[in-house]
Amino acid sequence: MALEDYRGDMEMCCRCSTCKFIPMQKVKGAQYVNVCPSIAKYNFHAYSAGGRLNIAAAMLKDGFKYTDKLLDIVYNCQLCGACGVSCNYAMDMEVLQPISEFRLRCVEDGKTNPALDKVIAGLQKQGTMVPGAKGKRGDWATGLKLKDATKEKVDVLYHVGCLTSYDKNMQKLAKATVKILQKAGVNFGIAGNAETCCGGRAYQMGYKEDFLNQAKKNMDMIKKAGIKTLVTGCADGYQAFKVLYDKYNLKGDLEVLHISEYIDKLIKDGKLKLNKKVNLNVTYHDPCRLGRLGEPWIHWEGKKVPGDRFVFDPPKEYRRGTKGVYEPPRDVLKSIPGVKLTEMTRIKEYAWCCGAGGGVNESNPGFARWTARERIEEAGSTGAEAIVTACPWCEKNFSETIKENGSNLKVYDIVELVEKAI
Amino acid sequence: MALNKEVYKEFEDVVGEENICNDPAIMPAYFSTEFAAVILPGNTAEVQAIVKLCNKHKMQFRPICTGWTGMFPPGIILLDLRRMNRIIEINEKNMYAVVEPYVISSQLQAELMKRGLNFCIKGAGTNCTAMLRGHGHMDQTTSGDDRNHLAIEWITPEGDIVRSGSLGSSDEWFCGDGPGPSLRSILTSAVPPGVTPGVFTKAAVKLYHWSGPSAYPVEGISPHYSLSEIPPNMMARYFSFPSVEKMWQAELKIGESEICFELMGFNISMVAANITTSNEEEEETFNRLNKEVQGPGFFVIVVGDTPADFEYKQRVLEKIVSENDGKSLKAVEDPRIEGILMCQCTRISASIRETFRNGGAFNSIPIMGQRDLTIKWAIGAGKAKEPLIEKGYIVDDGGAFFGWGVEQGHLGKTEIFCKFDPGNPEAKAAVEGWQKEQNRRAFTERYFASTMGPQDEIGPALLNYHLWWQKITEALDPNGVSPSGGSLV
Amino acid sequence: MIGKEKLVKIVGAGNVSYEQKTLDEYSKDISFVNAVRPVCVVKPKNASDVRKIVNLANKTQTPLVPVSSGPPHFRGDTVPGIGGAVIVDLSKMKKIINVDRARRVAMVEPGVTFGELIPAAEKEGIRLNMPLLPRKSKTVIGSILEREPVIMPKYQWDISDPLSCVEVIFGSGDEFRTGQAAGPGTVKEQWAVGGVQKAPYGPGVASWHRLIQGAQGTMGIVTWASMRCEILPSLEEPFVVGSSNLDTLLEMISWLIRLRMVNECFILNNTNLAAIFTKKWPRGYQNLKDSLPAWTLFYTVAGYEYLPEERISSHIKGITEITQRLGVEAVKAAGGVSANEILKAVQQPSGEPYWKLRYKGACEDIFFLTINDKLEGQIGVMNELAEKADYSASEMGVYIQPIVQGTGCHCEFNLFYDPGNPSELNRVRGLSNSAVKSLMAKDAFFSRPYGENANMILNRDAATVAVLDKLKKMFDPNSIMNPGKVCF
Ligand SMILES: Cc1cc2nc3c(=O)[nH]c(=O)nc-3n(C[C@H](O)[C@H](O)[C@H](O)COP(=O)(O)OP(=O)(O)OC[C@H]3O[C@@H](n4cnc5c(N)ncnc54)[C@H](O)[C@@H]3O)c2cc1C
Ligand code: SF4
Ligand code: SF4
């Protein structure tokens, strides 16, 4: 679908501003009411989802007039999808899709962001979203004697992801994951140096072709290796494989699981026992692309039914964030002895983004950090000692922000806590 | 009226470069209007400085809070008050709260509920400002319209700060009237036409007791929110009646006996909209419920302050309903649905389902005042919707109107609207025709005069109030910098 | 100057008076404002008379002083502020125009007193939200236009209540009707479709009635007003709670109102309660006063059409929780005054002589609005000032009336004095002046500035005055309406 296909949706926008806030029934006080980092930081209505839709609709009508400000608006959005959830509590219309399509359109028109161009150049050259990555993708596994899923038959392919593979500070997540899977006796493998970027973050940044390129590479490898189940610890990777690949009809019948879902299953199947005490008060941060954006793609094509209502034939089912992955990571945390989970105000489908998505991490690190700061403060307000997430990009952004601003809050990925408990 | 660089710089000096913008790219986000600039003042002093500059340069301006309803003349300066978002004070003992323009109602309400308090929330929703006047679902016990403001801090169109009532004399927010005649006569603001010129930068609103929970136990994932349990001292029901007259009698008695926290005269189409999560489900639900109701009805929420009070109120309600042959809608007796409605209709969070979801537009005739009189008119206005429904121009809501009790039935509100697809020019024209005709009928048959109608016709029939108002605005705004604009809905 | 013959032509010879004795009566009141003798007194019979008078006054630059209540006046607002004034005495406009049970509204002309409207409303099953024991000659409209506090704060949603709509002849000579009454159609035409004059706001975005209220006749002359009424209870139970601790009673009364459990409710000190309920003067006064607690909170619990007993009992249960928490007791009598007696009294105007005059023959009221938290401090200041002025604080009546559903309260000090005793009179006059100043310093809000102190009060808020001035110029361009009052 192209931007034009969302004209009707965009015209449905009634400028109610609901997309700026968490769902009204969930507002618990004066604080933590914002849900859209972009409008929260930049304040002009144009930075909100409603503003974006109205701008895009106007451009469809009157022609695309790019200005620096417009590009500033377009690229300062994490594409976190919170807006759509809040809107779709009441409205039947697509919100994130047209925003995303508008971004794709900008890139198509050559109106790119230089910082993102650089990242994509790196991707094209090195197959990773970690700019200036040194060494090889599989280096972290040296000496671990893991199965090579491209060569050996495994039940599960562990897709490690760019950041976890290349970032020295994040490789601990891969190692923890390996330990957990081994402990549970899973027959798994990695693709090692043959693994390549999922393309999800390139897609968020607006580079559809590069995304499709990556997707095809990955699916070729997966098909060739006969992989049926893919597990990843990266929320971006998860959403790419599970949702985006499906959207572009590339996924086939590959089963995609996030590591938190998989661990949850292992625990519930009795294959993994968490028996070491981890005394820690934690709060859990839902990564956008595991939570609300992790809900399955719904294939639909139809026509508007003529008449008074914005309805379609066949009826359109909207992805409202209802079927995201919310409980498995929480269930995992709850099954770690000693861990006490206290929820923040903004959780699950209306969680506040960590700030790292949509290319913002690369194009405007200050904004990414500003967004993280909000979250860290919110996490702190629960009395938790640590914020637990389930995505390396979130962890990295939180950790760096804490380093920059100082806070006693610790940051963990869920696999790190599980690792402590086995 | 484009801003030249020097003038732009003067405004920029007030708010900083990140808080002013005149790039054409942002304009469609706001009302499809080419503003000279959009400015985001951060406090009263900045608003005052901007207004003074506007006078100096004879630039027109309008403020917005969340900006849902305005439709503004091009070329003006838009003061987007988004950055003024503090709750200044919640005075529990003296039952008022002081807020800045961009505190949204859900924020204030959540803080109040924790303290056993509530306030009048506009039917538009808790996503709107808490500061401006309005009316809504809970008016039966929280009053509405211009009756909830206490002291107001106001930047006049000339850039002076006026602090009305007790605020100006003794730095307290509890009273907005005096010394002498009350400035609340003009410090009302509202949807145009005829908004108070200038800018309200803070206002105190009256608070009301709330015996409901300090926070609702909302469960489920959007859009399937419901309450995990109905608070033990609360009950919600929908009653339908065999006739408008019986419905009105029941409404009257309920008001007089002061037993309902809320009396929301939903029609069944609005009930269907509230409890469903998509257009398709809504249509199906409406068709089903429409068969079950006997006629017009209303939705009530009873809240007991004490167990004895709760019991008393329920018993009286039962009596009144049965005396008027009312029938409870079974669907709402289901705790899941009851919970949805209870929460939505106190934390006003589904008006969009009722209005915009269907077709993206609605045209409405709202009227505040004497409920029995306006209901009488609305019956006819509803009948007049039927041909539009038949032609498929507007959503079938059974030709219904709605409304609610205000101040235990002392006053009331009645409203009727048509929902349609604004992309369909025939539908749009038909709806506009209906609106015009029903306004005209209200006027010529002496029910009321919609002041959103043609001023030149209505004004003279209403003692030229429009000329008086014009005189007032001219006196307050000699440079004509504070136009009223038009209204979106 | 309006010629006599012109006035006679409008209202008839019998309704114009140039008689010295009459003029003297209007030239002063019980307050301390300077006596200024009007030129004549004219008594219009209807709105059309009023309009003609206002038009004449505009042509001749004649000040008009509208008066609706009969004497004795207390606040100086009906004494001409400047010479050459014509008193427009509206006491002959006595029609009760409408009483509507279903819509809970009544409509009266300016000369109608409480004593007259109460039975008429009662006959239909409704009643007024009254001020506390108005004098017999006080008109309903006079009280409402002054924003006098009412004794059922629960039913005062807005400070403008119970006012609904008014018909007014502005100083400019233009006729206007506020709120729902504005139209479309005349009042009679509105009635014909089932409309009443109830909704106060509009037309348009303004709330015009608020401009006329509190103006002390400086904007125009009201020729009728409609007001919301409340239903007559089918059952009522009054109580009193006595205490030496005002704070406790304030806490109690704010909860009673917040939970909407009581109708009439207010607090009086022993001096005022004795001043009202002494039967045998002068002997009985001190005895009664001695029998009373320092402060008495009075309230009524009521039931209406449905299950009145249950309603009352559920409220009493709720109230008992509050009294137990506060360690006070609700009883049926305080000293020598029973709750029933109080209830009966406050549902009517004061008996004759007016209660404020019984003790010493005159009374100076100092009243303002405030919030509970500040009240004790303000009363403390007042006590100190009284003592300093050699006026025994214990002789001072205090009336505390929560207003607008508990968002503030009206506090009133009643300084009883003997008008025949010049030294006492001077002491009270001095005290009144210094008190206003000191109380303002303690955040007392004098929302209804009368007489000698009005300027001092209004000087505190120049910004508001500047706006009011603009409005005044519009509605009374020649400044003929009661010049010298408020800030005009
Ligand atoms: C679906 C829908 C339902 C509605 N239902 C109701 C209802 O039931 N009851 C009701 O009362 N209203 C209703 N409205 C209208 C409603 O009052 C407004 O939509 C709501 O109050 C707008 O809040 P806002 O924050 O968007 O105000 P804005 O749209 O920002 O402002 C509203 C008006 O006030 C002016 N204004 C804004 N800020 C200031 C300020 N600081 N000082 C002076 N003037 C200012 C603006 O210029 C504008 O003219 C409804 C509107 C919609 C769209
Ligand atoms: S995108 Fe949705 S929530 Fe946002 S303003 Fe538009 S309709 Fe409202
Ligand atoms: S995707 Fe996220 S950042 Fe972008 S507009 Fe929506 S809520 Fe805001």
Domain ranges in chain A? 117-268
Under an 8 A CB cutoff, do C103 and B372 touch? yes
Contacts of C199 in chain B (CB under 8 A): 368-370, 411
CA distance B126 to chain A (A): 7
- Start-end of H helices in B278-345: 279-292, 307-323, 330-333, 335-344
B247 lines ligand 1 (CB under 6 A): no
CB atoms within 10 A of CB A279: 9
Average pLDDT of the segment spanning B447-466: 88
**pLDDT tier at B484, thresholds 50, 70, 90:** confident
Decide: helix, strand or coil at residue B365.
Answer: strand
Is C488 part of any domain?
no
A418 lines ligand 3 (CB under 6 A): no
**Angle, helix B371-383 to helix B425-444, in steps of 10 degrees:** 140
User: In the structure, do chain B and chain C come into contact, i.e. share 3 or more CB pairs under 8 Å?
Assistant: yes
- CB of B87 closer than 8 Å to CB of B103: yes
Contacts of B311 in chain C (CB under 8 A): 314
* Closest chain C residue to B157, measured at CA: C467
What six digits make up the tokens of B283? Answer: 């249509």
Decide: helix, strand or coil at residue A212.
Answer: helix
Which B residues in the span 428-487 are in contact with C, Cβ-Cβ below 8 Å? 443-449, 451, 458, 461-466, 468-469, 471-472, 475-476
What six digits make up the tokens of C327? Answer: 């360690």
One domain, residues C288 and C203:
no
One domain, residues C249 and C278:
yes
Q: How far is CA B289 from the centre of its chain?
A: 27
Q: Quote the CA–CA distance of B73 and B485 in Å, as a whole number.
A: 6
Triad A301, A304, A306: Cα angle to 5°: 155
A36 lines ligand 3 (CB under 6 A): yes
Tell me the per-residue pLDDT of B285-300, one tens digit each, with 9 for 90 and over.
Answer: 999 999 999 999 999 9
Average pLDDT of the segment spanning A235-241: 98
One domain, residues C107 and C60:
no
One domain, residues C105 and C218:
yes
Q: Quote the CA–CA distance of A192 and A171 in Å, as a whole number.
A: 13
Q: Quote the CA–CA distance of A332 and A321 in Å, as a whole number.
A: 21
User: What residue ranges in C212-352 does DSSP mark as E strands?
Assistant: 220-228, 230-231, 235-243, 265-269, 295-303, 333-334, 337-338
Triad B144, B147, B150: Cα angle to 5°: 125
- Identify the CATH number of the domain in which residue C303 sits: 3.40.462.10
Is C213 part of any domain?
yes
Is C71 part of any domain?
yes
Q: Quote the CA–CA distance of B338 and B343 in Å, as a whole number.
A: 9
What six digits make up the tokens of C403? Answer: 């207003």
Decide: helix, strand or coil at residue A230.
Answer: strand
Q: Quote the CA–CA distance of A415 and A400 in Å, as a whole number.
A: 19
Q: Does C98 touch chain B (CB under 8 A)?
A: no
**Cα B107 to averaged position of ligand 1 atoms, centre (Å):** 17
Contacts of B423 in chain A (CB under 8 A): 8, 11
Tell me the per-residue pLDDT of C337-363, one tens digit each, with 9 for 90 and over.
Answer: 999 999 999 999 999 999 999 999 999
> Mutation test of the interface with chain A: which of B100, B117, B127, B218, choosing the one with the most A Cβ atoms within 10 A?
B127
Give the per-residue pLDDT at C76.
85
**Cα C227 to averaged position of ligand 1 atoms, centre (Å):** 29
A77 lines ligand 3 (CB under 6 A): yes
Please provide the average confidence, as pLDDT, over all residues in chain A: 97
* Closest chain A residue to B341, measured at CA: A25
Q: Is the pLDDT of residue B485 over 80?
A: no
Is C253 part of any domain?
yes
Residue partners of B442: CB distance under 8 A and separation at least 6:
B365, B367, B377, B381, B448, B449, B450
Decide: helix, strand or coil at residue B208.
Answer: strand
Bridge partner list, C368: C411
Q: Quote the CA–CA distance of B133 and B206 in Å, as a whole number.
A: 11
A98 lines ligand 3 (CB under 6 A): no
Structural Rg of chain A based on CA atoms: 21
Q: Quote the CA–CA distance of A235 and A237 in Å, as a whole number.
A: 5
Tell me the per-residue pLDDT of B95-126, one tens digit each, with 9 for 90 and over.
Answer: 999 999 999 999 999 999 999 999 999 999 99
Q: What is the DSSP string of C229-294?
A: -EEPPSEEEEEEEEES-HHHHHHHHHHHHHTT--SSEEEEEHHHHHHHH--STTHHHHHHHHHS-S
Q: Quote the CA–CA distance of A146 and A193 in Å, as a whole number.
A: 12
Tell me the per-residue pLDDT of B347-370, one tens digit each, with 9 for 90 and over.
Answer: 999 999 999 999 999 999 999 999
What is the phi-psi region of residue B257: left when phi exceeds 0, alpha when psi lies from -120 to 50, beta otherwise? alpha
Parallel, antiparallel or unpaired: strands C397-403 and C408-417? antiparallel
Q: Residue A171: name the closest of A137, A127, A214, A146 by CA.
A: A137
What six digits make up the tokens of A188? Answer: 């798994």
**pLDDT tier at B69, thresholds 50, 70, 90:** confident
User: In the structure, do chain C and chain A come into contact, i.e. share 3 or more CB pairs under 8 Å?
Assistant: no
Report residue B219: phi and psi, to 5°: -125, 165
Under an 8 A CB cutoff, do B168 and C461 touch? yes
**Which is more confidently placed, A315 or A132?**
A315
Q: Is the pLDDT of residue B486 over 90?
A: no
One domain, residues C69 and C32:
yes
Tell me the per-residue pLDDT of A171-192, one tens digit each, with 9 for 90 and over.
Answer: 999 999 999 999 999 999 999 9
Q: What is the percentage of chain C residues whose pLDDT exceeds 70?
A: 100
Domain final residue, candidates C39, C60, C89? C89
Give the per-residue pLDDT at B488.
44
Contacts of A315 in chain B (CB under 8 A): 280
Q: Give the domain extent around C217.
A: 96-231
Bridge partner list, B327: B240
- Identify the CATH number of the domain in which residue C208 sits: 3.30.465.10
A16 lines ligand 2 (CB under 6 A): yes
Tell me the per-residue pLDDT of C445-459, one tens digit each, with 9 for 90 and over.
Answer: 999 999 888 999 999
Tell me the per-residue pLDDT of A251-303, one tens digit each, with 9 for 90 and over.
Answer: 999 999 999 999 999 999 999 999 999 999 999 999 999 999 999 999 999 99
Q: Quote the CA–CA distance of B47 and A248 in Å, as a whole number.
A: 50
**Cα A14 to averaged position of ligand 2 atoms, centre (Å):** 6
- CB of A41 closer than 8 Å to CB of A48: no
Domain final residue, candidates C40, C60, C89? C89
Q: Which of B222, B278, B358 sits opposite A308 (nearest CB)?
A: B358
* Closest chain B residue to C105, measured at CA: B410
Q: Quote the CA–CA distance of B75 and B37 in Å, as a whole number.
A: 8
Domains of chain B: 5-80 (3.30.43.10), 87-209 (3.30.465.10), 229-444 (3.40.462.10)
> Mutation test of the interface with chain B: which of C464, C465, C476, C486, choosing the one with the most B Cβ atoms within 10 A?
C464
CB atoms within 10 A of CB B332: 21
Q: What is the dihedral of CA B330, B332, B336, B339, to 10 degrees?
A: -160
Query: How many interface pairs between A and B have CB atoms less than 8 angstroms apart?
Result: 192
Under an 8 A CB cutoff, do B311 and C487 touch? no
Average pLDDT of the segment spanning C56-78: 93
Under an 8 A CB cutoff, do B26 and A46 touch? yes
Tell me the per-residue pLDDT of C135-178, one tens digit each, with 9 for 90 and over.
Answer: 999 999 999 999 999 999 999 999 999 999 999 999 999 999 99
What six digits make up the tokens of A260? Answer: 């938190």
Report the number of distinct structural domains present in chain C: 4
Best mutation site among A36, A350, A375 for ligand 3 pocket (most ligand atoms within 8 Å of CB): A36
- Identify the CATH number of the domain in which residue C20 sits: 3.30.43.10
Class of domain A117-268: alpha beta
Under an 8 A CB cutoff, do A29 and B30 touch? no
From the CA of B145, give the closest atom in ligand 1: 11
A357 lines ligand 2 (CB under 6 A): no
